[in-house]
A and B are shown apart, each in its own frame.
Chain A
Amino acid sequence: MQIRDYLIRRLMVLPILLIGVSIIVFALTRVGGSPIGIYMSHEMTPEEVEELEDRYGLNDPLPVQYVAWAGGVLRGDLGWSGVAVAPVTQVFRGKLAATMELATAAGLVAVTLGVTLGTFAGSRRDRLPDHLTRVFSVSGSSMPDFWFAIVLLIVFWVYLGWFPVGRSDPAIWASIAHPTGLYTIDSLMAGSWQAFRDAIWHLVLPAITLGLATTAIITRMMRSSLVEELNEDYVDAARAKGLPERLVLKRHARRNALIPTMTVIGLSFGFLLQGTVVVEIIYQWPGLGRWLADAVLRGDQATIMAYVLFTSVLFLTVNLAVDIIYAYLDRRVVLGS
């Protein structure tokens, strides 16, 4: 099947999956209680509570409420965030930009280090560098991010004073325009080296924390794939025809080892976006994760539903993209078969 046909078929299935996901999300959030909880206090009379429930249509049957909510989603209205005191859609844009920037930075750290270390270890199998890399990957994937984040803060914030928390210096942030909401990009667009430096300075610790576990996973995946590829006959053939080992590794073995690694990388980006909750809270990063945590604790159901819906769409899209990239990297893969 051609990539185009496959893409069309997957896109046609996408809305059905999304409807299913949205029903599950809606039902599960209602299990946690009424959305009116965030607005309630003891000072309210029963009439005032009733008035609020009427205003938000919460006395209607659940299917009617679902249709009203889903209709709003289709119109781009995801409801009102009681936590942010603003429409969810409006808040989402800014938060998403902050989280995307952090996840992308973490992804860059993870892919760069993971592929490099994995290649390094795989090509030196059972030698000291391989053992050291294994130690790194095991400890990296087993260290809890909340603990690692605190350790980094103690060392680099409290004792050395090198890197701060937060997303930016208030004065520098205010000195440039923010058309995209991505601080690094905005600073480059504004031509402000000071702002770019500030953006990177604030990104370093949260990106390393967030990317650590993914780095470890990619490293292990890349190493094992490479070891497998280096045992293949075509590698022997390449060596036999006199290709230097460096070219055998980079042109042949590593390219093929990247295929399974690519699946992990693709899915990891989704996990990076989801994994920002703890990192954003600890580093005071004003993104989706921190907003979600606050929403969960305070019962802000509109925000929770929007977030879960967003991550569902994200995973479906990332899966689709990975399948297509997979087919591009490995011509033997037949899409849709």
Chain B
Amino acid sequence: MSTSRKWTRWWTALLALAMVAAACTTGGTTDSTTGGSEAPATTTEEGEAPATTGGGEDSGDVFVHAADDEATTVDPAQVEPGEGGETIITQVYERLLEVGPDGPDLIPGIATEVPTLDNGLISDDGLTFTFPIREGVVFHDGTDLTAEDVKYSWDRAMTMDLPDGNAGLLSDIVAETTVVDDFTFEVTLQQPSAAFLNAVVTSSVASIVSQDAVEANGGVAAGEVNEFMTANPVGTGSYELTAWNRGENFQLGVFGDYWGTPANIDVRIDIAPDTDTRILGLRAGEYDMMEIDPSLVPDLEGAEGVEIYSGEFLLEPIHIGFNTRFEEGSLPPEDTVTPEFFQDPLIRRAFNLTFDYQGFIDGALGGQGATLPHYFPQGMLGFSEDYPVYAQDLAAAEELFREAGVWDEGFTVSIIAEEGNLFEVASLVLQDSMAALNPAFQIRVLAQAESQFDEAHASDPIPYALWAKNSDPFADPDALMQAYIHPDGEWGTVHGMRDMYQDPDAIASIIEEAGTELDTDARLAMYAELAPMLYDDPMWIIAGNEIALNAHRDHVQGFVMNPLWPRPSVKFAFFDK
């Protein structure tokens, strides 16, 4: 027998065997238990025995969420806001206070009471916050939680102060942490802060870790990552991480010794970067839930067994930033604008009046969105429907452009956005709106790969005069104001807002006063004063705010979503099926 003939027969036999084997499992289901609370936590490094991705198996006893990206760390001291790790941290760790399932109200977490001036847990000068700590709380490693663990967790994050983490949120505001007794924790602030409870105490970086677990596995060192904690969370949440198969899935088991109402069902989070695969998986019933944006609604609307949840607004408006702090000659050669161009408030207002908001919301957001005032998202403290909101008004825009003296000669300016998402669409809408107003107004949309955009966006100065993205999610208006509006804040510095505002000191003064005002009514009055000023002197084009959307199977029970929770804005402990 010839060699080729032998090989052909061998291959045919092997293939036939394979097909028979596959056929034997046709329609068959395999038990897919994913580690309960007894299962040892296993974290598999990429490259080592990469265990598995589900899909196709019977997932009746596990809730399967299809996620589009993966965490790089699940250490609260290392995680970046908005990063995939927050999804896990939200479920396996707890904080002193939590945002409840309905709206922005705070509920007790590890602390048994929410501090207020009325209950005396906030000192009269607004500097000292006292947190009574819950007794009988057990970490996933079996140790008991005390106030020492709380102090240790906060101090640890501030000591490590990792550049990719969010420790600044604590260290910028906290002067001292004190253990009063085993079950009383006290925080002294550097100055009164209206945002402390909503924006700091509930944040991922303020999660409570087990002191024993950390000390037994590398301890704390300034500026150094704790490799153990990066992948092995030891919290008190209703879920514990039972396995992390890098590149494939997370497995969360119900924590049997949880102090509160226990979770109902184990969870597996499959990493499924391809959108079509996630959609097909949900339609096939292999996934129970996936995050969606408005562009995916038509793919799922009417699908058998699939429900689309449409809730509150996300706290991440899509905006286009005006940058004036670029270096001479650093813009693309086609651009004709100078730093002075966007320093002119007439130009910025004219841009805001030219943008086709309704077209963007009806088209790109499928009607699942709304415009908002500068810069108060719906659902956040400070928002009011009485504040002025920009709408497209081409006649008014023309008037302003003429007044600014750019109508006749026109201009060319490039805008960068990450390709293939809503930000690119917002840029294209701006391009079309400008061209419709005056063909001499040319917007060059430079859609870039994620890494390219991230590098440009993170550079300082940014070598482009316009960029489109969404804002970071904030739970309190002060954090948002400090980041995006304050002339000396994060983006104020990058964009050169001090040279853009007509009265930067007035803006800064209101933001700072409102940030330290503990009387909510007085604070709201300050924001009411600020909103018209920001309308007249806009630092952004706010294209729109998306409504929080989610798609899940109709057998999911107890579904609740709150945009104030880190994405996907759910807590699996509420769910069952």
Contacts and interface: CB of A to CB of B under 8 A. Distances in A.
A165 B281 contact: yes
Interface stretch (B10-18, B132-140, B187-195, B404-412): B10-18
Nearest to A87: B47
Given A52-B163, A90-B47, A157 B56 contact: yes
A139 B18 CA distance: 25
Interface string B158-178: 000001101010000000000
Contacts of A111: 11
Interface in A276-302: 281-284, 286, 290-291, 293-294, 296-300
A84 B247 contact: yes
B393 interface: no
A320 to B, nearest CB: 20
A290 B457 contact: no
Contacts of A84: 46-47, 246-247
B221 to A, nearest CB: 15
A160 to B, nearest CB: 8
Contact of A91 (B45, B168, B248, B251): B45
Given A112-B11, A116-B8, A203-B18, A197 B24 contact: yes
B506 interface: no
A171 B163 contact: no
Interface in B8-61: 8, 11-12, 14-15, 18-19, 21-22, 24-27, 30-34, 45-57
Contacts of B8: 112, 115-116
A239 interface: no
Nearest to A168: B52
B458 interface: yes
Contacts of B284: 157-158, 161
A36 to B, nearest CB: 8
Contacts of B26: 162
Interface stretch (A3-11, A126-134, A173-181): A173-181
A299 B163 contact: no
Contacts of A174: 51-52
A171 B268 CA distance: 12
A37 B72 contact: no
A34 interface: yes
Contacts of B27: 160-162
A82 B80 CA distance: 14
B72 to A, nearest CB: 5
Contacts of B249: 170
A37 B15 CA distance: 46
Contacts of B72: 82, 85
Q: Which residue, of B166, B246, B251, B271, has the highest number of chain A Cβ atoms within 10 A?
A: B246
Nearest to A278: B274
Interface in B248-281: 248-249, 251, 268, 270-274, 276-277, 280-281
Interface residues of B, number: 75
Interface string A174-203: 100010010000000000000011101111
Interface stretch (A14-22, A38-46, A225-233, A310-318): A38-46
A92 interface: yes
A330 interface: no
A31 B491 CA distance: 28
Contacts, number: 238
B141 to A, nearest CB: 22
Contacts of B450: 297-299
Contact of B48 (A48, A90, A153, A296): A90
B46 A166 contact: no
A41 B458 contact: yes
A200 B268 CA distance: 23
Contact of B47 (A52, A95, A282, A298): A95
Nearest to A113: B15
Interface in B221-267: 230, 243, 245-249, 251
A39 B163 CA distance: 9
A153 B449 CA distance: 28
A298 B50 contact: no
A138 interface: no
Given A46-B460, A158-B283, A197-B25, A286 B455 contact: no
Nearest to B418: A297
B333 to A, nearest CB: 19
Given A37-B451, A86-B46, A116-B8, A169 B57 contact: yes
Nearest to B26: A162
A198 B25 CA distance: 8
B27 to A, nearest CB: 6
Interface of B: 2, 4-5, 8, 11-12, 14-15, 18-19, 21-22, 24-27, 30-34, 45-57, 72-73, 80, 163-164, 166, 168, 230, 243, 245-249, 251, 268, 270-274, 276-277, 280-281, 283-284, 286, 449-452, 454-455, 457-460, 490-491, 494
The 3 closest A-B pairs by CB, nearest first: A164-B56, A299-B451, A166-B53
Given A94-B45, A296-B451, 12 more contacts: A43-B164, A44-B164, A48-B163, A86-B47, A108-B14, A153-B276, A165-B56, A170-B268, A172-B30, A173-B51, A284-B271, A297-B451
12 contacts: A40-B459, A42-B460, A91-B45, A154-B280, A164-B54, A167-B52, A170-B34, A171-B31, A171-B32, A197-B22, A281-B274, A284-B248
Interface of A: 32-34, 37-46, 48, 52, 81-82, 84-86, 90-95, 98, 105, 108-109, 111-112, 115-116, 150, 153-154, 157-158, 160-174, 178, 181, 196-198, 200-204, 250-251, 254-255, 258, 281-284, 286, 290-291, 293-294, 296-300
